[in-house]
Amino acid sequence: MIQYIADAFTDTLFSGNPAAVLPCRQMPATELMQAIAIENNYSETAFVVRRGKGEYDLKWFTPGGEVELCGHATLATSFVLHRFADRGVEEMHFHTLSGELIVRPCPDGYTMDFPVGPYKAVPVTEEILAATGGLAKEAYYDGGDTVAVIGSEKDLAALVPDYDAMRRVDGRGLVITARSQDFDFVSRCFYPKLNVPEDPVTGSAHTYLTPLWAGKLGKTEMVARQLSPRGGTLHVRLEGQRVFITGNAVLFMQGEIPFDL
């Protein structure tokens, strides 16, 4: 059984967001997928099963549990399939808990076609203020991640996370975002409830950050940067109820797991 490790949303090793990708003959039992994700201890481990030409079942697991949508591990999976496991495939259709996701190779890497993520304005609560060091000016939540908009890219880069406070905020994780001078917008994404304190680059967060900032900036094509220590750049485009996210990936390693899946 071959497992691939790829850095996503980057052209350079040791940056972007690493993900483990396991092409499987059939989808393993949930308990086994969870155990492998814990053993890997990456923010995401992806399990992919080929249905037919360009058609795949895809699941994602963090060390803390299964998630419904993961952008960087989808990008890493597309890279692994296109370059190694299903060499040369030109359009990939992934069947997931979030519905069908389509990925196509392009000159800049791979473009992922995702549904717009849900978000709606909510009050800035004391919990959100505590989790953002008192910086939150706006907040959004609709059952997924809580999003807090703050006033300055500099403040976001300097923020020292209080994970205990972040765990008290509603939702799966806390995404903090600000307007940028060098990019269109920047963000940092925290998931301590999933045993992922700070995610290096979070594709799924950009399914709602993209329409949020499109409304604020009056544009539908933008360049986003995630300000984690590893960092990552995402090219995003909004078309109706779809978000197109483009990024690249590089292979760190491939190795054998001593059993067949």
Q: What is the 3-state secondary structure (H, E, C) of 65-129?
A: EEECCCHHHHHHHHHHHHHHHCCCCCCEEEEECCEEEEEEEECCEEEEEEECCCCCEECCCHHHH
Return the bridge partners of 176, or none: 148, 188
β-bridge partners, 103: 92, 112
Choosing from 31, 39, 44, 126, which is the catalytic residue? 44
Count Cβ atoms below 10 Å from residue 224 Cβ, excluding itself. 24
Q: At CA 98, angle to CA 97 and CA 104, rounded to 5? A: 115
SS3 content of the chain, % helix, strand, coil (to 5): 20, 40, 35
- Catalytic, 44? Answer yes
Number of residues assigned to the chain? 261
Q: In angstroms, rounded to a whole number, what is the distance separating the alpha carbons of residues 92 and 107?
A: 16
Write out the H or E segment, with its range, that includes residue 165: helix 163-167
Beta strand 99-106 with 2-8 is unpaired
Q: How far is CA 31 from the centre of its chain?
A: 23
Tell me the catalytic residues. 44
